Structure formats: structure tokens, C-alpha cells
Amino acid sequence: MPEVRTWQLTAGAAVAGLALAAGAVAAAGPWDSGQRTAEKDWAAARRVPGGAHHEKPLPKRPVPAPSAPGVLAALGAPATATGAPRPLSADLGEVLAPLLADPGLGTVRTASVVDLATGRQLYGKGASAPMTPASTIKIATSVAALSALGPDHRIPTTVVASKDAGRLTLVGGGDASLDSAGLRTLADRTARALRDRGVTSVRLAYDTSLFKGPWRHPIGRDRNIAPVSALMVGEGRYDERSTGPVDRSEDPAGDAARAFGRLLKDRGIATAGAPAPGRPAAGSAPLAKVLSPPLSALVERMLTHSDNDLAEAIARQTALATGEEASFQGGGRAVAGQLKRLKLPLTGARFADGSGLDRADRLSAGLLTALLARAADPGHPELRPVLTGLPVAGFSGTLETRYGSTSPGTGLVRAKTGTLTGVNTLAGTVVAPDGRLLAFAFLAGNTPSREAAQPALDRLAAALAS
């Protein structure tokens, strides 16, 4: 478990809760602004140069949590005369053990609770036992990517042109956040550059060679994830305004290229025939490009809404940054390698994908709380989006409809959810009544149903707030 100093409470807990008090979540969601400006500058200055089956739609306009004043009050709770946090009012074992025995949590349950001010484990039950984590593995994917690439990394989508600009190639850089607006911007820039050269007709190809290996997720065709491609628009959704599990295109790259060709035509640039897959011609040079939002924003979006397409793309970006193949296997090796460099407890861990849809994934409750502790460590400001991206109980993302207005966890619990058939998990942070910021992870296997398991998990996290 990483060593964390007592004064970390102020930095870590403030990150986890202050955004609620000020209503700092932007109208379109927390991912639009990414980290707070000061934290981004700090991270940049310190940086060394170089699953889930979630059915709930994206919220259109988050509003400030009504419990935000309680967050601030908890953060300002006084310490003892020695400066150490006051002890918790009850023995966690007595409080949590009966809740862990809830039959809704199935037959296999593990847990870890860590005080982020000291790094000390306050409670553990099978904390080192590897379990299927479902979407809580996205916490590991996020930590690995941010540590490898930094929070300001952006993913390009590029158009390159042959020497005579008669052949264009749309090159996918692996940006799963690219939408129709971004593609229109790319078409605007491309058409302008071509007109400047006097070119009005081109042949169009598209290149997806950045990603390797199978494009289909190991679980097979699934409405929770599109074919994993280095080039896609709107995550391969037929209607990119749709949310949650939906039918996806079987050829997201081809669809993106054809849409791009139509946009060029609308801007006075004719394309000869249909776009075809292919590499850029010899001697080609960049003509136009667009960039994704910064990685900090992508991580926040991915965690808040458990975005599987973003998770797999981010895992591959980590692979590219560390010299691994941009595939499911290469992404897994890259994530494991980055976490090993951070000296995290990886015994029994397995990263079969970046999203948690693969049941071959394995994480322990102890590893999850160690990841959260590392993200709260003032020595790693580049990891802060892992905390700011966690859904807020009763307020945002996959926790928006969980926890009621009377639950002590509402507004105080921030956690990543995990849901597969028979697997339910929850890992995040909570401000305890004495003002300390705690990290927790609860993993349950062989659960009878989502409807039984999720409230039981929510009661465990809420107990830490009460």
C-alpha cells in the first residue's frame, strides 16, 4: 500500500468533493473541462518529458449535488490536538461484516477500505484475492494511461496527401471520442488546404493499421461495444445521439471514411469512387488533422459513464506509448507494466481488456484501493482525473439513479461501478464523518441479480459515510 502523508487529506478529499460544492461540473458533463486548470499546470510542470452492462443514458445537464455543503463540512472536520485525524466512531469490522453477509452479494465477497491520509488499511476481507472486476478495471486502465501519456495527451485523426494531392488517406489515430462535429472540422480543413493547391478531385483511402489483432472484443458481438477500430465516428453508433447499449456498425472505419467523402463533396471536393482501405502513398505528407480532448477529459468521461469504447481505445494508447502492440493483448501488457512501475500489488492480476467486459480479467480489492490511493497521492497529480471522473452517488453517471435522497452516501460516495451477469463491484472514495477521505473496493461474485447486489453494495459504501 503506498505511503501517503496526513496532509494528503486536504488535497485528495478536496479533489473528490469540491467540484460538487461549486457546481463545477460543466453543462455538457465533467469531461469537457478535464482537470482543474491549476492541477493541469502542476501536472505538466512535474511531468518528465518523454463493462459492463450499463443501461442508463447519459445525463443531459448535471446539477450540483444537494449534499455538497455536507462534503465541505466533512472536509473541514477538526483533527485531534496531535494533528492526526480523529479515530472512526465505530469498528469497521462490526459495521461492514453484517452488510457483506447480505445474500444479494452472492457467494464470494471481498473488500478493502484504506485511509488515504495514512495509507493504512482499515478493513480487509480477502483483499488480496483476485476477482472478476467488471468495469472497475477501468480504474486500472485510467491510472496506466495517465502515467504513461500524461493528462494533456491528445489523439490525432489525420488526413495525409500524396505529392500531387490527388490521393488522400484518412488515418485513424485511435480516437474513440471523434464525433460528427470533429469529422466536419477535419473536412473543412482538408477542403481549404486542397483549394489552396487548386485541387478539386481526389481519390480517398482510409488507414486503420495503427491497431493490431482482432477488432472484435473477445466476448463477441455485443451492444455494449463497437468493433475496436483506430478510426470510428460516434463510437460506431448508427445514431450517435443514442446512449447505453445499442446496435453498432460492423464497419465503423468504412462508415467514417464514407461520411468524410460526403463531407468533402459538400465542400466542393469530388471523390473518385468509394473510399477503400489502404496505407498512404509513398511520399505523402500531412494535410489536415483534428485532435481529441485531452486524456484527462477522456478518462473522466470514460469513468463517469463506463464507456467501453473509450476504455479499449485508451488501453491501446497506453500500449503505443510503451512500445507494445496496440491490441487487446498489448494493451493488457502495457497496463500491467505501468502499474508495476508504480509499485502496485499485482499478485494474481490479469488484464485481458481495458473495459472489464472480459470475464478473464482479474483484480483484487486491495489493488483497487491501492490504485485510488496512488491517484490521491500529491506526488502524482497527473492521476487526479481518476478521482474527478468517478460517478457521484445520486448525482452523476452510472451512480445517478443509485442512492436515495435519504442515503448517507448521497453526494459523499464517488465510485466506479462494475456489472456483469453474476458479478457486481463498486470501488471509489468516500468522506467519512470525521473528515477523512477513505478508499474502498467491494467485489462480489456469483450474485443472484443486479437488482439484489447493487443496493447491497451501495449500503456498504454508505456505511462508510455514516
Overall residue count recorded for the chain in this entry: 466
Average pLDDT rounded to a whole number, residues 424-453: 96
pLDDT digit string, tens, across residues 243-258: 888 999 999 999 999 9
- How much is the average pLDDT of 391-404? 95
Residues with catalytic roles: 135, 138, 306
Backbone φ and ψ of 156, nearest 5°: -90, 150
Alpha-carbon distance of 356 to 426, in angstroms, equals 13
24 in Cβ contact with 300 (< 8 Å): no
One DSSP character per residue, 299-341 reads HHHHHHHT-HHHHHHHHHHHHHHTT--SSHHHHHHHHHHHHHH
Query: Which residues, in sequence order, are bridge partners of residue 319?
Result: none
How many Cα atoms sit within 13 Å of 257 on the Cβ side? 26
- The amino acid sitting at 162 is S
Residue 176 has what pLDDT? 97
CA 445/CA 364 separation, integer angstroms: 12
Residue 365 reports pLDDT greater than 80? yes
DSSP state, 85? Answer: P
DSSP state of 138: H
Q: What is the pLDDT of residue 241?
A: 85
Contact 367, 139 (CB under 8 A): no
Indicate the SS3 state at residue 406: coil
CATH class for the region spanning 8-152+296-465: alpha beta
How far is Cα 240 from Cα 256, in angstroms, rounded to an integer? Answer: 12
> Is the pLDDT higher at 177 or at 42?
177
The predicted structure's pLDDT at residue 118: 87
What's the CA gap between 2 and 369, in Å, rounded? 10
Q: What is the pLDDT of residue 22?
A: 32
Q: Say which range, 59-63, 329-333, 352-356, 400-404, has the weakest mean pLDDT.
A: 59-63
What pLDDT score does 52 carry? 56
Best CA proximity match to 252, nearest among 272, 277, 269: 277
Residues 6+ apart with CB under 8 A from 374: 2, 143, 342, 344, 380, 383
CA distance 24 to 64: 8
Residue 447 contacts residue 453 (beta carbons within 8 Å): yes
Say whether pLDDT at 326 is over 70. yes
The predicted structure's pLDDT at residue 399: 97
Look at the domain 156-292 and name its fold: D-tyrosyl-trna(Tyr) Deacylase; Chain: A; (3.50.80)
3-state secondary structure 3-59: CCCCCHHHHHHHHHHHHHHHCCCCCCCHHHCCCCHHHHHHHHHHCCCCCCCCCCCCC
Q: Residue 74's pLDDT is what?
A: 38
Check whether 46 has a pLDDT greater than 70.
no
Of 26-35, 276-285, 319-328, 368-377, give the lowest mean pLDDT range: 26-35
Of 73 and 98, the structure prediction assigns the larger pLDDT to 98
SS3 of the chain: helix, strand, coil, percent, to 5: 40, 15, 45
Q: With the CA atoms of 117, 118, 119 and 121 taken in that order, what torsion angle do they form, in degrees rounded to the nearest 10?
A: -100
Number of H helices, E strands in the chain: 13, 11
Task: Kindly report the average pLDDT of the chain as a whole number.
Answer: 85
SS3 458: helix
pLDDT at 314 over 70: yes
pTM of the model: 0.84
Contact between 428 and 416 under an 8 Å Cβ cutoff? The reply is yes
What span, in angstroms and rounded, lies between the C-alpha atoms of 19 and 27?
A: 13
Res 195 pLDDT > 70: yes
Q: Per-residue confidence at 371, pLDDT binned at 50, 70, 90?
A: very high
Where along the chain do its domains lie? 8-152+296-465, 156-292
State the Cα–Cα distance between residues 242 and 237, nearest whole angstrom: 7
Position 378 scores a pLDDT of 93
Residue 117 binned pLDDT confidence (cut-offs 50, 70, 90): confident
Look at residue 404 and give its three-state secondary structure.
coil
Question: What's residue 385's pLDDT?
Answer: 97
Burial code (b: 16+ CB inside 10 Å, e: under 16) for 412-427 equals: bbbbbbbbbebbbbbb
Overall average pLDDT of the 368-382 stretch:
96
